[in-house]
Structure 1
Amino acid sequence: MVLPKGFLFDFDGVVVDSFESHYSAWTSAFKELFNKDIALFPKFHAGKSPMIIAEYFCSVISEEKRTEELFSLKDKHLDIYFTIPKLLPGVREFTTLLTKENIRYGIASNATKQFLKNSVHHLNLDFTTVFGVQDYLKPKPAPEAYILLAETLGFEENDFKDIWVFEDSLTGTKAAKSAGMIPIGITTQYSEEELKEAGSILVFPTLLEAYQYLTTK
């Protein structure tokens, strides 16, 4: 099988399971700021910008005006009380294959840059090009994140149709589709049907099954 020209990866839910890392930081930051327990994390906010998530949590207690405070404090807690997220299957196999085949790849996430750097470092991941939410004027579902990553990796617009983008969220899937790339779904958050409805061309449980699909054809 001829491999695509490039591979772009979301981070949370694709490369790692980081729900506990993020939610514990939201919980402790919310408690410090408001001295209240935080609401349950809603599935429909998976993959969205942390500022949108902060706004949601503040809105539950009618404190929208303190959204930026919560966003900043959560980012600090995520760094100070950093917990290493769990690596998902297939990541090392994929990066080894792409390095061997000299295929360009990188990460574009709506997570904060420091969390991404900490995670890549502690998990010893082979990703040298990594973008976080602070790098974009318009985070996902806008296509900017994936366009910026692709251009940084040296791709031109006419290459986009031959670039795979791995996403677990509907937000990110829409971003990849809007960028003119090929969204590939990972079912850690949403069902195959939901991801395909959002635009995913193929869907896999994890990167490991995607790797097997590419290397056994």
Structure 2
Amino acid sequence: MHDLNFKPKAFLFDLNGTMIDDMEYHTQAWYAVMNEDLDANLDYETVKKEMYGKNHEVLERVFGKDKFSDEEVKKLSIDKEKRYQEGYLPHLALIDGLANFLKRARNENIKMAIGSAAIPFNIDFVVDGLKIRDYLSAIVSADDVEISKPNPETFLKAAAALQVHPKDCLVFEDAPKGVESALLAGMKCVVLTTTHTMPEFEDYSNILTFISDYNDPKLNTLF
């Protein structure tokens, strides 16, 4: 782990589990789709382990390639996202401290973007529901990349959209695959412990620190 003496020119945020604490609702939605609709008979922890990447990638990992047609994947994906949004909407909120963190970053002229494996349907649900679009200069979604995390394409495209060199970007992530994506992109990372425990990240050398929310005083050194 590195000292927090890094002065980034841009903040790149993963969305789910990083700006909002919602991963439980994604898992619940997938659990319902896989077991109630698809009779997969999977336990909750097994479903939780597959919660990364694009929706079609999740389905391929669990059920195998070519199990579903493109139309079936699209329908299952939308059904899952509707379940997620219905379950999470009453709890929709930024992680503690993030509202002030976004304001401070903007005042300090630090550029900001979202780099997420979520589809635009879900990103818009969060960004517009929480009225944070004005803070963001770019959004890279699942629809904007060929290969999702841990491939570095998501964060590299976000950096390019901000016109900031990767080494000057700081990624905020909650998942090991996201941290790996940042590492492959040549970017340092701050990890939110909303979804995974610290030992799960022990293989990654690009982590500056771990935080539970954005009120952590360690973040003051970034400005």
Name the TM-score class by shorter chain: 0.7 to 0.9
TM-score (norm 1): 0.82
Q: Partner of 2:22 in structure 1? A: 18
> For the residues of structure 2 that align with 1:54 and 1:69, how far apart are their CA atoms?
13
Q: Partner of 1:8 in structure 2? A: 12
8 A Cα contact 2:18 2:174, kept in partner? yes
Could you tell me which amino acid in structure 2 is paired with residue 208 of structure 1? Y
Cα deviation, residue 40, structure 1: 2.1
Deviates more, 1:171-180 or 1:64-73: 64-73
> For the residues of structure 1 that align with 2:168 and 2:40, how far apart are their CA atoms?
48
Structure 1: runs of 5 or more not aligned: none
Cα deviation, residue 205, structure 1: 2.8
Q: Partner of 1:44 in structure 2? A: 49
Structure 2: runs of 5 or more not aligned: none
* Equivalent position to 2:186, from 157, 174, 180: 180
> For the residues of structure 1 that align with 2:72 and 2:24, how far apart are their CA atoms?
18
Q: Partner of 2:160 in structure 1? A: 151
Alignment of 1:35-74 (within 5 A): 39-42=43-46, 43-59=48-64, 65-66=67-68, 68=70, 71-74=73-76
Could you tell me which amino acid in structure 2 is paired with residue 154 of structure 1? Q
What are the superposed Cα offsets for residues 1-39 of structure 1, whole Å, 9 maximum, x if unpaired? 773111101111111122243234324444674366654
**CA, structure 1 residues 73+100, in 2 after alignment: closer, same or farther (shift >3 Å)?**
same
The structure, 1 or 2, with the larger RCO (C-alpha pairs under 8 Å, 6+ apart) is 2
Cα deviation, residue 175, structure 1: 0.6
Alignment of 1:92-107 (within 5 A): 92-107=99-114
8 A Cα contact 2:98 2:215, kept in partner? no
Could you tell me which amino acid in structure 2 is paired with residue 123 of structure 1? L
> For the residues of structure 1 that align with 2:59 and 2:79, how far apart are their CA atoms?
14
Q: Secondary structure at the match of 2:114?
A: strand
Cα deviation, residue 119, structure 1: 1.2
Cα deviation, residue 188, structure 1: 1.8
Q: Secondary structure at the match of 2:11?
A: strand
Q: Partner of 1:205 in structure 2? A: 211
TM-score (norm 2): 0.80
8 A Cα contact 1:185 1:196, kept in partner? no
Query: How big is the alpha-carbon RMSD for the aligned residues of Structure 1 and Structure 2?
Result: 2.8
